[in-house]
Amino acid sequence: MATLTIRVPDAHRDRLAAMAAQRGVSLNKLMEELSARALAEHDTEMRFRPRAARGTVTRVLAVLERLDRRHSPDKAP
């Protein structure tokens, strides 16, 4: 495992430490979790961006509409 030193304003460090304490994890663990989330979001965007470029607005809206209907809270089980 590598060590990474970053510089952040003191106020950010204090807020991050408070967030970690609230979650019951170390500041190191919190940064590991936040960086993993950021990487997952980046990977997802990079995977779907080429697909989005090939699609059309009409098709995307149709898919979103189907998803909304399928996952609507009003929908009876």
Contact yes or no for 15/31 (Cβ under 8 A): no
Q: Which residues contact 17 (CB under 8 A, 6 or more apart)?
A: 27
pLDDT of residue 57: 82
pLDDT of residue 55: 80
Indicate the DSSP class of residue 57.
Answer: H
pTM, 2 dp = 0.64
Distances (CA, A) of 62 to 1, 2, 14, 54, 69: 45, 45, 45, 15, 11
Per-residue pLDDT of the chain (77 residues; tens, 9 = 90+): 899 999 999 999 999 999 999 999 999 999 999 999 999 999 998 988 888 788 888 887 888 899 888 887 775 55
The H or E element spanning position 19 is helix 10-23
